[in-house]
C-alpha cells in the first residue's frame, strides 16, 4: 500500500513548503500540486543553488519522481513553459511532469482583470500577485473557463474560446482594457498545445494507480491556511483552499487516502499583501527579522510583513486541516534575539478569543496576548539533532507543542535540504 504525506502551509504562505516538499521528494515516487497556480513561489535550495518554482511541483529535481499538476490547480501554460525553460537553463533537464486535462487554464485576460479589479478597489485592494488567479477560478465556477484538456481538441477549443471571449471582451471593455481577437489567441494556444500537449492527461488515473501500488506520494500545498477562501482572513485571501481537505477534489482521489498531514509553519509569522495580521511587528524588530530571514516575496519581491508566532492561528489551522505534525521553519532566524514571543489568545472587546473571528472587522480589533520567553544567541544552522539545540530553543519548541497540542515533527534551521532536523519517526521513515 502506498504511503502519503500532505504538506500544507499553515500561516499566510511562504512558510517553506518548497523546502519541505523537496526534502521528502528525494524519496517520493510522485509529487502532486492540487490547488493554486503561479501565484505560489516555492524555493528549493541544494548543492549551493537556489531554485524558484511557481506552478511546477517541487519534486521536479528528482528524475525518478513523477510530478503532477492536478485538476484543482489553475494552470497558466505560458508560465509553465517559461518555468521549464528557466529550469533547463539551470541544468534541470531530466524530469517527469504531467498536467491534468481537467485543470482550469489561466488566460491572458485573467491577469488583466486581476490588475483592473485591484485598481478599482483603491485602498481596499487585496494586494494579489496579479497573476489572474481570482479571475481564473471565478471563470471556472461560472463555467465559462477553458481547461488544459481543451487544448488537445482544436475544434472544441475554438468553440470554448469563442464563448469565453464573447463574455470576457464585454468585461474587459467595461474596465477600459483592450479586447482580445480570436485568431491570435487561437494560434498561440495551438502552439502551446504542441509544446505541452504530450504532458496533458487524466492525472487522477495516474495518481490512483500510484495509490494502489507501493508508491510514496507527496501532496504539495500552495499558499497557506490563513489565505484559504473559506477559512482565511476573507476577503484578504486567495481563491482556493490550501487545506489537506482539498487534496481529494484537487487531485481526483478518495478522501480515505489522506492520513498524514504536515503543517509547515515558520517559527514566527509573515504575510505579503494586505489584510489583518494580529501579531504584526513594526520598526526595528520587524526589520531585523525581515533581513535575517530574507523576507522578500519570491514571486513579487515585496517585503513580507513580520509577526510573532501566532498559536491562535496554529490551533485553528490544526483543527481545520487535521495537522499531524508541524514542520517548524526558519528557526535559525530567531537566534540572537533577547526574547521571543508567542501569541496564545486574542483580546477583543474585553473577551479572550481562542480562534480567529469570522470577520476582518473584528479581527482588526484583536490584540495579541503574548507570552515572552528567553531567546538564544547560538548559531543553530549546523544542528542536526533536536538534543543539540540550545535549551531556550528547545523550550520554545516544547511551548509551541504544548499550546497547539500538535507535535513538532521537523525543524528547519536553514534553507538547504541538509539543514533539517527530523524528530518524528514516522516522517523520518517516509
Ligand atoms: P513556500 O512558498 O512555502 O515554499 O516558501 P518560500 O520559498 O516562498 O519562502 C521561504 C523562504 O525561506 C525561501 O527563501 C527559503 O529558501 C527559505 N527557507 C526555508 N527554510 C528555511 C530555514 O529554515 N531557514 C532559513 N533561513 N531560510 C529558510
Ligand atoms: P506560496 O505558495 C504568500 C497572497 C497574495 C495576496 C493574496 C491573494 O508561495 O506560499 P492571489 O494572487 O492569490 O489572488 O493573491 O494571497 N498570496 C500569497 N502569499 N505566498 C503565496 O504562495 C501566495 N499566493 C497568494 O499576496 O495577499
Ligand atoms: Mg512562497
pLDDT digits (tens, 9 = 90+) for 126-154: 999 999 999 999 999 999 999 999 999 99
Q: What does the block give as the cell for 416?
A: 538547504
Please provide the average confidence, as pLDDT, over all residues in the chain. Answer: 97
Residue 2 pLDDT grade (very low, low, confident, very high; cuts 50, 70, 90): confident
Probe residue for ligand 1, chosen from 7, 13, 36, 43 as the CB with the greatest number of ligand atoms within 8 Å: 43
The confidence score (pLDDT) of residue 1 equals 74
β-bridge partners, 328: 265, 411
CB 304 within 8 A of CB 295: yes
pLDDT, tens only, 145-202: 999 999 999 999 999 999 999 999 999 999 999 999 999 999 999 999 999 999 999 9
pLDDT, tens only, 350-392: 999 999 999 999 999 999 999 999 999 999 999 999 999 999 9
Ligand 1: does its nearest atom lie under 6 Å from the Cβ of 45?
yes
For cell 513561489, what's the residue?
41
pLDDT at 301 over 90: no
Query: Which residues carry out catalysis?
Result: 14, 42
pLDDT, tens only, 252-281: 999 999 999 999 999 999 999 899 999 999
Ligand 1: does its nearest atom lie under 6 Å from the Cβ of 414?
yes
3-state secondary structure of 344: strand
Helices 77-89 and 182-196, packing angle to 10 deg: 40
Residues in the ligand 2 pocket, defined by CB under 6 Å: 9, 13-14, 39-42, 126-129, 131, 133-134, 222-224, 227, 238-239, 272-273
CA-nearest residue, atom 2 of ligand 1: 14
Q: How far apart are CA 83 and CA 105, in angstroms?
A: 16
Q: What does the block give as the cell for 336?
A: 540572537
Amino acid at each position: 500500500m502506498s504511503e502519503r504525506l500532505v504538506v500544507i502551509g499553515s500561516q499566510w504562505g511562504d512558510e517553506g513548503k518548497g523546502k519541505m516538499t523537496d526534502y521528502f521528494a528525494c524519496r517520493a515516487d510522485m509529487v502532486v500540486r492540487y490547488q493554486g497556480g503561479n501565484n505560489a513561489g516555492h524555493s528549493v535550495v541544494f548543492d549551493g543553488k537556489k531554485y524558484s518554482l511557481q506552478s511546477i511541483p517541487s519534486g521536479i529535481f528528482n528524475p525518478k519522481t513523477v510530478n503532477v499538476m492536478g485538476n484543482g490547480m489553475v494552470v497558466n501554460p505560458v508560465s509553465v513553459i517559461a518555468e521549464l525553460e528557466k529550469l533547463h537553463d539551470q541544468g534541470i533537464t531530466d524530469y517527469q511532469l504531467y498536467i491534468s486535462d481537467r485543470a482550469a487554464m489561466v488566460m491572458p485576460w485573467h491577469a488583466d482583470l486581476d490588475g483592473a479589479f485591484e485598481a478599482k478597489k483603491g485602498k481596499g485592494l487585496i494586494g494579489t500577485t496579479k497573476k489572474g488567479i481570482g479571475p481564473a477560478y471565478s471563470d471556472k465556477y461560472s463555467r465559462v473557463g477553458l481547461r488544459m484538456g481543451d487544448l488537445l481538441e482544436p475544434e472544441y477549443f475554438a468553440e470554448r474560446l469563442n464563448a469565453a471571449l464573447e463574455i470576457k471582451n464585454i468585461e474587459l471593455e467595461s474596465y477600459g482594457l483592450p479586447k482580445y481577437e480570436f485568431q491570435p489567441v487561437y494560434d498561440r494556444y495551438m502552439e502551446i498545445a504542441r509544446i505541452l500537449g504530450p504532458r496533458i492527461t487524466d492525472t487522477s488515473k495516474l495518481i490512483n494507480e500510484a495509490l494502489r501500488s507501493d508508491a510514496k506520494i507527496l501532496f504539495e500545498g500552495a499558499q497557506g491556511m490563513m489565505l484559504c477562501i473559506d477559512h482565511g482572513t476573507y476577503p484578504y485571501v486567495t481563491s482556493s483552499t490550501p487545506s489537506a481537505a482539498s487534496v481529494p477534489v484537487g487531485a481526483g482521489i478518495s478522501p480515505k487516502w489522506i492520513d498524514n498531514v504536515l503543517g509547515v509553519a515558520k517559527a514566527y509569522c509573515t504575510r505579503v499583501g494586505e489584510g489583518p495580521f494580529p501579531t504584526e511587528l513594526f520598526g526595528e524588530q520587524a526589520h531585523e527579522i525581515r533581513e535575517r530571514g530574507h523576507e522578500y516575496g519570491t514571486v513579487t519581491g515585496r517585503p513580507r510583513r513580520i509577526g510573532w508566532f501566532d498559536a491562535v492561528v496554529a490551533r485553528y489551522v490544526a483543527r481545520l486541516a487535521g495537522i499531524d505534525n508541524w514542520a517548524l521553519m526558519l528557526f535559525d532566524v530567531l537566534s540572537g534575539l533577547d526574547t521571543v514571543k508567542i501569541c496564545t489568545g486574542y483580546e477583543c472587546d474585553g473577551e479572550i478569543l481562542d480562534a480567529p473571528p469570522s470577520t476582518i472587522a473584528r479581527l482588526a480589533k484583536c490584540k495579541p496576548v503574548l507570552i515572552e520567553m528567553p531567546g538564544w544567541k547560538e548559531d543553530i544552522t549546523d544542528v542536526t539533532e533536536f538534543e543539540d539545540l540550545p535549551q531556550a530553543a528547545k523550550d520554545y519548541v516544547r511551548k509551541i507543542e504544548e499550546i497547539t497540542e500538535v507535535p513538532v515533527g521537523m525543524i528547519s534551521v536553514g534553507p538547504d535540504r541538509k539543514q533539517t532536523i527530523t524528530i518524528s519517526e514516522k516522517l523520518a521513515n517516509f
